[in-house]
Amino acid sequence: MDIRFFEGNIANIQADAIVVPSNSALKESNGESNAIYDAAGRKNLCIECEALVKGNGKYAYGDAVATNAFLLDAQFLIHAVVPKLRYGNKSECDQIAHAYTNSLIVADGLKCKSIAFPLLGIRNGFDVKTVYRIASEQIQKYKARYIQKVFIVVHDKKTVDIITYEGNRVYSLDGLHSGVYSLRTICNKQNYLSQLEEKDIKEICSIINGFSLKNEIGLLFDDIVAYRNLPENYIIQKSRSGKCRVIRDNKTIIRCCDERILCYYLNNKICEKKKLSSLSDKNYGLVLCGGGARGAYQIGVWKALIEHTCLSFTGISGVSVGALNSLLFAQGNYEKAERVWMTIEEKDLKDFNELLELLKIGGLKLLESFLSVAPSVFLGSLSTLAYDQALENEENKQLIMKFRLASNNLSSIIDSAIDDWTLIDRNKILYSFVSRNFVFSTPENIPLTGLTVNEIKDVVLSSASLPIIYGSTNYKGKKYFDGGRISNVPYEILAEKGFKRILVIHLNPNDRKKKKYSLSSYNDAVIEHIYPSEPLGGLLTISKEKTLERMKRGYFDAVKWIDSNEAKTFL
């Protein structure tokens, strides 16, 4: 089982089962229990608990019994009967241990895949270290049939410090790692929707309507929960089956989508607005262009900026390998970024020689001439029909599947590169540019603030999913591709969000000849560019020597730019 620790209010977590500490009469026993009862709906929960006690009598210490979770983001509430500390002997510790074990047994019997615990007993006088040890031992030795994830939620800094000292990472429920997307959480509890403007709602509607939405006919929207704290008379309606629609002035503008999809985009937009408003300044934004293995050049530029300037970027927009590098920049550890790039090998990215052979076998010789130019040209010339024809050949299909395995390598690279995921969201806002189709333009800038670790990885991998080589990445039920196919220089989002000066680090020297990629201003923002002084080699051609060469080229090109009159004005 995967065990993770969180800091926050356990009533805000999403899990199949949430454990609540109770006394023998199944009544709330402490402040933590009160929070869960309040969030679930005290009246209905008390009625069900009273019925259980009436039928079964009072429960013994260590027992566990399930009820409905009512308004919580869970299917079940499991009431664990926990003793109060009196003597501190082994018997009382055993009762705590039984409470954990019996809660797991109950959850497994209900076929729950995830369960959330508080640290049982710490509100009843038990020592944090003792309870932590009991919880770890009981959870680790339990042989689960259905449970895959166990969340342990703590509520105070002292407990967090102790758990961290024991070698565990503690995530926050209120930000980066929450992953809680429900209308109850977003609308009722946090009341965030009122912060959105009409343009935000329209943007969300535009994105969601690009998905394949279900027909709402037959859904009982008569018996609904309606959320009205939206701008301009917008209403969100939720049916009995959990499907949602958005209405404005009696007109349906989002037909019928899953609650989690709608709430994901609402939450993402809310977190973006909060992050933008909390930034200390929006003076400087950074744009990291795409270009595969050439991305090492951007690391060299970074070194020069560190050594010769005092630039601090609070906004970063990346596409393709630039999206991967944006995570490294957000970490603020140049030495780690350099080490990561020096360990990437050719097998991690795949070689174009095999791809050329694949294209010849598949009857796509025409594409061979496109491989030496920018990805936007190459992929813009690729048709879905030609790709489908290549897949008709079984040998081609097997080769293409080999390329798809490379995305696993990219995921491993990200895991090895990031030491502390909380830094991604702490003092910067990051955007990854993706495309929903690699033939027709459907671009999307996804802010990484407020997302879970897995969601951040999925978005960044989507931006780096060069079609044919890496295929697409599934994210929120939709296939996404490399956004560089649409625009390899995604500066617009930073300018539109109010950043005053934007520095673009290119990976193709020919970009200086393209008007769209060489603008000096956009939306009142001043834009400066650092271009490679010479070609950086193939998209997927990489070795330690080549990486070092690209880093050095980036460093010297950046130093030359820093000494220019344009840079002095910009800085």
Length of the chain: 571
Considering the domain architecture, whether residues 274 and 406 belong to the same structural domain is answered as: no
Considering the domain architecture, whether residues 491 and 540 belong to the same structural domain is answered as: yes
How far is Cα 121 from Cα 126, in angstroms, rounded to an integer?
5
The pLDDT value recorded for residue 339 is 87
How far is Cα 383 from Cα 328, in angstroms, rounded to an integer?
34
Q: What is the mean pLDDT of residues 522-529?
A: 89
For residue 172, what are the β-bridge partners? 7
The pLDDT value recorded for residue 286 is 93
Axis crossing angle, helix 334-343 with helix 296-308, rounded to the nearest 10? 160
The pLDDT value recorded for residue 80 is 95
Q: What is the mean pLDDT of residues 116-134?
A: 90
Q: Which of 320, 326, 472, 487 is catalytic?
A: 320
Q: What is the mean pLDDT of residues 425-440?
A: 64
Considering the domain architecture, whether residues 247 and 353 belong to the same structural domain is answered as: no
Task: Answer whether residue 550 is part of any domain.
Answer: yes
**Which region among 340-354, 378-392, 432-446, 450-464 has the lowest average model confidence (pLDDT)?**
378-392
End residue of a domain, out of 159, 175, 191: 175
CATH of the domain at 357: 3.40.1090
CB-based contact 50:89 (threshold 8 Å): no
Instruction: For 319, list phi and psi in degrees, rounded to 5.
Output: -135, 140
End residue of a domain, out of 160, 175, 190: 175
Considering the domain architecture, whether residues 272 and 289 belong to the same structural domain is answered as: no
N-terminal to C-terminal alpha carbon distance within the chain: 51
Q: Which of 482, 487, 511, 557 is catalytic?
A: 482
The pLDDT value recorded for residue 261 is 77
Q: What is the pLDDT of residues 275-321, one digit of tens each?
A: 787 776 778 999 999 888 899 999 999 999 999 988 888 899 988 88
Residue 550's nearest CA partner among 291, 286, 287 is: 291
User: Which residue carries 């565990």 as its tokens?
Assistant: 168
Q: What is the mean pLDDT of residues 176-190?
A: 53
Considering the domain architecture, whether residues 157 and 239 belong to the same structural domain is answered as: no
| Helix H or strand E segment including 259 | helix 259-278
The pLDDT value recorded for residue 144 is 93
User: Would you call 315 helix, strand, or coil by DSSP?
Assistant: strand
Residue 482 annotated among the catalytic residues of the structure = yes
Percent of the chain at pLDDT > 70 equals 70
Considering the domain architecture, whether residues 298 and 365 belong to the same structural domain is answered as: yes
Q: What is the pLDDT of residues 208-250, one digit of tens each?
A: 766 555 555 444 444 445 555 566 667 777 766 667 778 777 7
Considering the domain architecture, whether residues 234 and 110 belong to the same structural domain is answered as: no
Considering the domain architecture, whether residues 170 and 300 belong to the same structural domain is answered as: no
Domain count, the chain: 3
Which tokens go with 298? Answer: 């951007």
How far is Cα 551 from Cα 386, in angstroms, rounded to an integer?
37
The pLDDT value recorded for residue 484 is 65
Considering the domain architecture, whether residues 418 and 549 belong to the same structural domain is answered as: yes
Burial (CB count <10 Å: 0-12, 13-18, 19+), residue 109: exposed
Residue 112's nearest CA partner among 235, 273, 1 is: 1
Residue 258 annotated among the catalytic residues of the structure = no
CB-based contact 460:414 (threshold 8 Å): yes
The domain containing residue 51 runs over which residues?
A: 2-175
How far is Cα 96 from Cα 501, in angstroms, rounded to an integer?
57
How far is Cα 496 from Cα 238, in angstroms, rounded to an integer?
33
Considering the domain architecture, whether residues 169 and 260 belong to the same structural domain is answered as: no
Predicted TM-score of the model (pTM)? 0.62
**Which region among 28-37, 433-442, 497-506 has the lowest average model confidence (pLDDT)?**
433-442
Mind giving me the DSSP string for 460-518? Answer: HHHHT--TTTT--EEETTEEEEEGGGT-S---HHHHHTT-SEEEEE-S-GGGGG-TTTS
Burial (CB count <10 Å: 0-12, 13-18, 19+), residue 342: middle
